[in-house]
Amino acid sequence: MSRDIDRRAFLKAAGGAAAAATLAGCAADPDETGTGTEGSGTTEAGGDGTEATESGTESEGEGSTLTYARGNDSGTLDPQNTTSGEDVKVTNQVYDQLIMFEPGQTTLREGLATEWNLEGTTVTLTLREGVTFHNGDDFTADDFIATFNRFTNPDYEYYPGDSYVSAYGPFTLGNWIDSVSKDGDYSLTIELNQKYAPFLRNLAMFASSVLSQQAIQELGQELAQNPVGTGPFQFENWDTSNQRIRLSANGDYWGEAPQVDEVVFSAVGSNTTRAQTLDSGGADIIDGIGAQASKIVQDSSNAELVQQAGINVGYMAFNMAKVEAFRETKVRQAISHAIDTQALVENIFKGIAEQASQPIPSNVFGFNDDLSPYEQNLERAQTLLDEAGYGDGFSFELATFKNPRTYNPSPLQAAQLVKSNLAEIGIEVSINQQSFNPFLDYTSAGNHDACFLGWMTDNADPDNFFYALLHPQVADGELTEGQDWVSFDAEGFNTLNVAAWANRDYMTLVEEAQTTYDQTVREEKYKQAAKIAHDEAPWVFMDHAKELRGVANRVSGFVLAPISGPFLNLVSLN
Q: Which of 202, 219, 236 is the last residue of a domain?
A: 219
- Give dist(CA 23, CA 131) in Å, integer: 28
Confidence of residue 371 (pLDDT cuts 50, 70, 90): very high
Looking at residue 171, its pLDDT comes to 85
- Give dist(CA 572, CA 552) in Å, integer: 11
pLDDT in tens, 378-400: 999 999 999 999 999 999 999 99
- Give dist(CA 160, CA 219) in Å, integer: 10
Are residue 323 and residue 203 in the same domain, yes or no? no
- Give dist(CA 91, CA 77) in Å, integer: 6
Q: Taking Cα atoms as reference points, which of 16, 568, 551 lies closest to residue 284?
A: 551
Judged against a pLDDT cut of 70, whether residue 56 lies above it is answered with: no
Q: Which of 173, 201, 219 is the last residue of a domain?
A: 219
* Domain annotation covers residue 138: yes
Are residue 203 and residue 321 in the same domain, yes or no? no
Confidence of residue 60 (pLDDT cuts 50, 70, 90): very low
Taking a C-beta distance cutoff of 8 angstroms, is the pair 395, 429 a contact? yes
Q: Residue 323: how many CB atoms within 10 A of its CB?
A: 18
Looking at residue 404, its pLDDT comes to 82
Looking at residue 406, its pLDDT comes to 87
Judged against a pLDDT cut of 50, whether residue 118 lies above it is answered with: yes
Judged against a pLDDT cut of 60, whether residue 434 lies above it is answered with: yes
Would you say the C-alpha torsion 566, 278, 304, 61 has a positive or negative sign?
negative
Confidence of residue 63 (pLDDT cuts 50, 70, 90): confident
pLDDT in tens, 182-223: 999 999 999 999 999 999 999 999 999 999 999 999 999 999
Share of the chain above pLDDT 70, in %: 89
Confidence of residue 435 (pLDDT cuts 50, 70, 90): very high
Taking a C-beta distance cutoff of 8 angstroms, is the pair 450, 397 a contact? yes
Structurally, how many domains does the chain consist of?
2
* Domain annotation covers residue 341: yes
* Domain annotation covers residue 125: yes
* Domain annotation covers residue 14: no
- Give dist(CA 217, CA 238) in Å, integer: 22
- Give dist(CA 171, CA 348) in Å, integer: 34
Looking at residue 255, its pLDDT comes to 97
* Domain annotation covers residue 412: yes
Q: Which residues contact 208 (CB under 8 A, 6 or more apart)?
A: 97, 98, 147, 172, 173, 202
pTM, rounded to two decimals: 0.81
Q: Please state the separation of Cα 396 from the chain's center in Å.
A: 26
Judged against a pLDDT cut of 70, whether residue 47 lies above it is answered with: no
* Domain annotation covers residue 514: yes
Q: Which of 219, 242, 260 is the last residue of a domain?
A: 219
Burial class (CB in 10 A: 0-12, 13-18, 19+), 168: buried
Looking at residue 191, its pLDDT comes to 98
3-class DSSP state for residue 272? helix
Confidence of residue 498 (pLDDT cuts 50, 70, 90): very high
Confidence of residue 364 (pLDDT cuts 50, 70, 90): very high
- Give dist(CA 317, CA 331) in Å, integer: 13
CA dihedral of residues 54, 550, 562, 409 (deg, nearest 10): 100
pLDDT in tens, 457-473: 999 999 999 999 999 99
Are residue 178 and residue 326 in the same domain, yes or no? no
Q: Which residues contact 107 (CB under 8 A, 6 or more apart)?
A: 101
- Residue 518 belongs to what domain range? 312-546
Helix (H) or strand (E) holding 265: strand 262-267
Confidence of residue 36 (pLDDT cuts 50, 70, 90): very low
- The angle subtended at Cα 386 by Cα 385 and Cα 388, nearest 5°, is 65
Looking at residue 80, its pLDDT comes to 98
Q: Of 54-58, 295-299, 345-349, 388-392, where does mean pLDDT reach its minimum?
A: 54-58
CATH of the domain at 155: 3.90.76.10
Helix (H) or strand (E) holding 556: strand 555-556
* Domain annotation covers residue 389: yes
Q: What is the distance in angstroms between the CA of the first residue and the CA of the last residue of the chain? A: 37
* Domain annotation covers residue 305: no
CATH of the domain at 472: 3.10.105.10
